[in-house]
Chains A and B, each alone.
Chain A
Amino acid sequence: MKKLALLLLLIAFSVALIAETVTLEYWMWDPSIKDKVEKAIAKFEETHPNIKVNLTVMEPKNYWPKMRTLAFTKKLPDVFNMSSGYLEEWAKNKFLLDLTNYVENDLDKDKFFFNLFEAGKRISGTDRYYAIPFALVVTVLYYNKDAFDEAGIPYPDENWTWDDFLDAAKRLTKDKDGDGEIDQWGFWFYGRYAHVESWIYANGGRLINRETMRFEPDENALEALKFLVSLVKEHKVAPMPKEMKGIRQQDVFPRGLAAMWVDGSWNIENNRKIIGDKFRWGIAPVPVGPHGSKDVAYGWPDFVAISATTKHPKEAWEFAKFIAGEGLTLDMYMAGKIPSYKALTMSEEFDEVGKQPVEKGKVLRELASRKLLNSFTMGWSEWRGYGAAESMGLNGLIDAVLNGEMAFDEMLDQAYKNVNRVLKRYYK
């Protein structure tokens, strides 16, 4: 009897071992694709019968406060979305699992745009991989093809210089109904990060000295800033930001108020919605500055990360790899977001033939393979002036110059003081 009992126990134990399912918690920030993600999860569970994934979706504005609370109470989900803006803070505070071993030994690097992994390493401020990129956004030059045709100017391409740009902007700034007020501006911008940094990087410049982690714009960056300011003050091809108050900044170009605009590629969706068939428009890389080169781009990835305290690192890695790459389909990406999984970006579907902008596939693929630069640091929202704090920080200072309320040198003076005051708090 004793032997039988022992045998039964052994069988039960091994059955339990084999049948042991691991449950993973996955949190993401895009409610609009919830169904599609659930389908992807079902597909994953089919090929990984011992792993079950529970999905939680949050609205973007609720996501971060909730995530931070979970980090504090040590109840982070196993796998979750991570943004470039916070990667450094989370990695350095040891909330993310170090994925370097997995990336180097268990990842088919050719299947991804590997430069995005490198960008992630740079952003984290460490020499380890802490997150898997699943999407990329870059900034592009949007231009109104009909306005270009009307003015007889050839369309921009990747070889456009700042002189080409300025020349076009001058010819595109028009007072169409003769009432003394400009109806179509050549260009539209303000102190926003996506508007300004694009030009700084296109000129080979930088805002932050990564060795000292202090605000130290170099010659090229200052040249870019001065160039932008001259567009409003000297050449008058762009309006003062305060003139466009009351209109959402992303609506200025699609409403035909400006013939050119530089901002993130994710605006393609809003452009399509507002422009419809009213005019033809296209995208091109940001014009190259006198000291810039064509092998860098201003962009940043969105990531999938794994909690450092997960109880199932191996299973979490399997799932994270899947949900950042092969598990995704193009319809999960907002127009203008670029998948990091090459199969998706290189597919014909990515070109979205029949929709504007017609050069979407070509331009975005080319930009996705460039070296990605950005100026994210800890405390970035505060010193740069982002979101609800847009009027503050560097954003507010640049706007003050553009609106004629502050001189350029005074702005720079204050910027040194204010930005470094914030940076000192995070980087001693």
Chain B
Amino acid sequence: MKKGFSWYKPWHGWIFLIPTLIGLFVFRIGPIIFAFFMSFTDWNIMLQPTWIGLDNYKELFTDPNFYQILLNTFEFSLIYVTGTMVFGLLLAVLVNSKIKGIKFFRTAYFTPVVTSAVAVGIIWSWILSPKYGLLNVILEKWFGVTPPSWLGDAKWALPTVAFVQTWKMMGYYMIIYLAGLQNIPSHLYEAARIDGASKFQSFWRITLPLLSPTTFFAFTIAIIDSFRNFEIIYTMTQGGPQYASTTLVYSVYVNAFVFYRMGYASAVAYVLLGVVGLITWINFLLKKYWVQRIY
């Protein structure tokens, strides 16, 4: 058996990785590095970029709208992360049963995840429309309540868009939690039942703690995912009214592809990267305090 694979050296593995590494560099790392340098320039694509040092960042931090955009971004993330995790878990608990036909519901709840964000945005725009929109017709005719213009009112635009995005993605977190739930040994529940624990106590003392690795994963993913909200905003409100639903991602798009200010847009993108990176880092730091391992 000596002849086998003994002539392979350890570093040969790297050769097989080359195609992936090239792809990773050209399409991901390369642009990230390029954008870093771009953020210190003024570039409108047509002319040569001019180096302006920290001017883009200075402009960013003195722009009165920037703080609203930052706040909007956090508000969106808060609603999204809370919503997807709570409802994701709820749906997972609901579909984690062996009733006949439960697979239909799993598929149904997951379908919005794989539906185009533009399609979701258009349909929800209609549902939430003050004139002829399904929701407002129901609220007015059946409940006699005059609802606001969900997407047109400065107070409601952002929560509404965050809600729609949450609705769209909760099926994804349902799947994550479902996997986590099914990994919990059932004998624990049986033992608890024998000891007289209620359903609620079982959930609180067994399910949730043992789900903590899953919750950590879902939480990390949800935070990163919450910043990817361009399509839904573009379709439903275009950042309006008046920056009320503009987030960092939307600002990057508008500055890069409508105003052709590549340098400035890169600076905004790097602020976004910094924010996401910071939150994720804090998340990992705090991990040891609440994530338990299942042995």
Contacts and interface: CB of A to CB of B under 8 A. Distances in A.
Contact of B238 (A89, A240, A243, A390): A390
A396 B242 contact: yes
A426 to B, nearest CB: 10
A246 B128 contact: yes
A72 B259 CA distance: 16
A243 B136 CA distance: 11
Interface string B221-245: 0000000000000100111111111
Contact of B151 (A245, A379, A399, A400): A245
Contact of A65 (B45, B149, B244): B45
B120 to A, nearest CB: 14
Nearest to B127: A246
A242 B259 contact: no
A391 B243 contact: yes
A89 B46 CA distance: 10
Interface string A376-389: 00010110001111
Nearest to B259: A382
A399 B238 CA distance: 13
Nearest to A242: B152
Interface residues of A, number: 34
B131 A246 contact: yes
B130 A246 contact: yes
A244 B131 contact: yes
B212 interface: no
Contact of B45 (A68, A243, A399): A68
Contact of B260 (A68, A245, A400): A68
B204 interface: no
B126 A246 contact: yes
A245 B127 CA distance: 11
A80 interface: no
A9 B149 CA distance: 81
B15 interface: no
Given A242-B152, A246-B125, A388-B254, A396 B243 contact: yes
A29 to B, nearest CB: 16
Given A95-B46, A396-B241, A246 B133 contact: yes
A241 interface: yes
A72 B240 contact: no
A400 B47 contact: no
A369 interface: no
A397 B46 contact: no
Contact of B241 (A65, A69, A89, A400): A400
Interface in A228-260: 240-247, 257
A403 B148 CA distance: 12
A247 B258 contact: no
Contacts of B129: 245-247
B267 to A, nearest CB: 15
B253 interface: yes
Interface in A372-421: 379, 381-382, 386-392, 396-397, 399-400, 403, 405
Nearest to B129: A246
B233 to A, nearest CB: 10
Contacts of A245: 125, 128-130, 149-152
Contacts of B244: 391
A396 B131 contact: no
A71 interface: yes
A390 B128 contact: no
A68 B257 CA distance: 11
User: By CB atoms of chain A within 10 A, which of B131, B239, B242, B259 has the most?
Assistant: B242
A93 interface: yes
Given A396-B240, A399-B242, A257 B47 contact: no
Nearest to A390: B238
B269 to A, nearest CB: 16
A392 B254 contact: yes
A388 B241 contact: no
Given A244-B130, A388-B253, A403 B241 contact: yes
29 contacts: A65-B257, A68-B46, A71-B45, A72-B48, A240-B149, A241-B152, A242-B151, A242-B153, A243-B131, A243-B152, A244-B130, A245-B129, A245-B130, A245-B150, A245-B151, A246-B151, A388-B234, A388-B253, A389-B259, A391-B239, A391-B240, A391-B242, A392-B239, A392-B240, A396-B240, A400-B154, A400-B242, A403-B153, A403-B154
Given A71-B46, A245-B130, 8 more contacts: A72-B45, A90-B46, A95-B46, A243-B131, A245-B150, A379-B259, A382-B259, A399-B240
Interface of A: 65, 68-69, 71-72, 89-90, 93, 95, 240-247, 257, 379, 381-382, 386-392, 396-397, 399-400, 403, 405
Give the 6 A-B CB pairs with smallest separation, nearest first. Answer: A246-B129, A391-B240, A242-B152, A396-B242, A245-B152, A242-B149
